[in-house]
Amino acid sequence: MILTVTLNPSVDHALFVDGLKLCDTNRVLRTEVDAGGKGVNLSRVAVEMGAMSVATGFLGGGNAGFIRKVLVRQHVLHDFVDVHGETRTNFSVEDGTGAPPTTFNERGPTISEDEYERLIEKLDHYAPRAAWVAFGGSIPQGLQAETYRDLVRRVRKHGARVVLDADGDPMRFGIEARPDFIKPNAREAERLLGLTTTIPDLASAVEAARRLQVQTEGLVVISCGEQGAVAVDRDGSAWSGESPRVEVRSTIGSGDSLIAGMLAAFEAGRGFPEALAWGIAAGAATATTDGSEIGRKPTIDALLPSVRVTEATPLPPR
Ligand SMILES: Nc1ncnc2c1ncn2[C@@H]1O[C@H](COP(=O)(O)OP(=O)(O)OP(=O)(O)O)[C@@H](O)[C@H]1O
Ligand SMILES: [Mg+2]
């Protein structure tokens, strides 16, 4: 079972307009509403790929019911802490030019000490039954930047393996707890390593992943958008996977789908290179869907044969 923890989930509204006009009235051609948040996405894709998943975190107000309904429809088990505040709404506006959407993200509710304690009780209940616990996304108001570090330590004591996907300080602190698996994208990896140059290609991403792997001692995957993703495992073996070319609509949730595909493969008893291929196919499938919609199994299955994963050889010593 894969337990996902979303501390600040959302209801995502994608608005489609024909040219975005600032300081003016815009006619909305179509609106799509979906459940969002890293763990929520991850659970949905993992179940789509045959794994069992329980989603937890914080939910409150009218949006809570909507998110629960989406999860039920997609056969994701869920057990969230009910909070006093209202789960946030995020808006994205797609202007029809193919440019990335303009997004408006609310901050979400402030979490009280009592609500945080109730989440810990849920983690203590589910973590011993979980092969993997996935933490990801922003930390809500009321909780510290160190939250992931503390939660990762806590669930690892129950013997669960942990994957962490966050940015900035929450990720930096989280890494101190040595998560079994981290998945920064290329930009996040540059920030984590303090690089002043960008990671331009998969070969450079492998080197960056090797450096991060020394810090975490776990599996490190760096995702590189349309190029694909690389993985360095705890034994130092390195893999590089090219993403298939797809007609891109929205890459929101592609990173979560990559993790979901890999965990679903591990749950099905697969190792490398299949796990990376499953992840890349899931990420690419999600890139073909609108807004925060996720890739579905038929698309993932169709893309899988065109994912190329090869073992990366280490660079000669300098
Ligand atoms: N444009 C694309 N074409 C094909 N595959 C893609 C594309 N964008 C993403 N993918 C696939 O999805 C994976 C994850 O995407 P990406 O690197 O964009 O993650 P991310 O930046 O963490 O995304 P997010 O945090 O929004 O979920 C990539 O490794 C790739 O396999
Ligand atoms: Mg991401």
Tell me: the pLDDT tens digits for 153-182?
A: 999 999 999 999 999 999 999 999 999 999
pLDDT at 314 over 80: no
Ligand 1 pocket, residue 228 CB under 6 Å: yes
* Cα 46 to the center of its chain, rounded Å: 11
Ligand 1 pocket, residue 36 CB under 6 Å: no
Q: Residue 154: count other Cβ atoms within 10 Å of its Cβ.
A: 17
Paired sense of beta strands 10-17 and 28-36, if any: antiparallel
Question: Which residues are registered as beta bridge partners of 33?
Answer: 13
Alpha helices in 165-289 (DSSP H): 168-175, 186-193, 202-216, 254-267, 274-287
Q: Tell me the average pLDDT across 81-110.
A: 94
In angstroms, the Cα distances linking 73 to 30, 55, 66 are 22, 14, 11
In angstroms, the Cα distances linking 12 to 9, 60, 94, 150, 248 are 9, 15, 13, 29, 19
Interatomic CA distance for residues 40 and 189, integer angstroms: 23
* Predicted local distance difference test score (pLDDT) of residue 98: 82
What CATH number is given for 2-19+29-311 in this structure? 3.40.1190.20
Burial class (CB in 10 A: 0-12, 13-18, 19+), 317: exposed
pLDDT at 299 over 90: yes
163 vs 99, residue with greater confidence: 163
Q: Which of 254, 293, 304 maximizes ligand 1 atoms within 8 Å of its Cβ, making it the mutation to test the pocket?
A: 254
Interatomic CA distance for residues 221 and 105, integer angstroms: 27
Nearest to 281 by CA among 305, 312, 249: 305
Q: Tell me the average pLDDT across 286-296.
A: 90
* Predicted local distance difference test score (pLDDT) of residue 309: 97
Looking at residue 139, the DSSP 8-state letter turns out to be: P
Tell me: the pLDDT tens digits for 105-119?
A: 999 999 999 999 999
Tell me: the pLDDT tens digits for 25-74?
A: 999 999 999 999 999 999 999 999 999 999 999 999 999 999 999 999 99
The answer for residues whose C-beta is within 8 angstroms of residue 189's C-beta and 6 or more apart is 195, 199, 205, 208, 209, 212, 222
CB 46 within 8 A of CB 264: yes
Atom nearest to 186 CA in ligand 1? 17
Interatomic CA distance for residues 241 and 311, integer angstroms: 9
Q: How far is the CA of 241 from the centre of ligand 2 (A)?
A: 17
The answer for residues whose C-beta is within 8 angstroms of residue 196's C-beta and 6 or more apart is none
CB 2 within 8 A of CB 131: yes
- Record the tokens describing residue 171, joined without a space: 């990720």
pLDDT at 100 over 70: yes
- pLDDT > 70: percent of the chain: 98
pLDDT at 81 over 70: yes
Q: Which ligand is nearest to the CA of 231?
A: 1
* Predicted local distance difference test score (pLDDT) of residue 290: 85
Instruction: Please report the DSSP string for 285-308 in residue order.
Output: HHHTSSTT----HHHHHHHGGG-E
Poorest-confidence range of 216-220, 248-252, 257-261, 304-308? 248-252
Ligand 1 pocket, residue 225 CB under 6 Å: yes
Residue nearest to atom 31 of ligand 1 (CA): 280
Please provide the average confidence, as pLDDT, over all residues in the chain.
95
- Record the tokens describing residue 146, joined without a space: 């160190």
Q: Tell me the average pLDDT across 204-213.
A: 96
- Domain spans in the chain, listed from the N-terminal domain onward: 2-19+29-311
* Predicted local distance difference test score (pLDDT) of residue 292: 81
Tell me: the pLDDT tens digits for 221-266?
A: 999 999 999 999 999 999 999 999 999 988 889 999 999 999 999 9
- pTM for the whole thing? 0.96
pLDDT band at 316 (very low <50, low <70, confident <90, very high): low
* Predicted local distance difference test score (pLDDT) of residue 172: 96
Residue 66's SS3 state is: helix
Q: Which of 202, 221, 223 maximizes ligand 1 atoms within 8 Å of its Cβ, making it the mutation to test the pocket?
A: 223
Nearest to 90 by CA among 165, 13, 35: 13
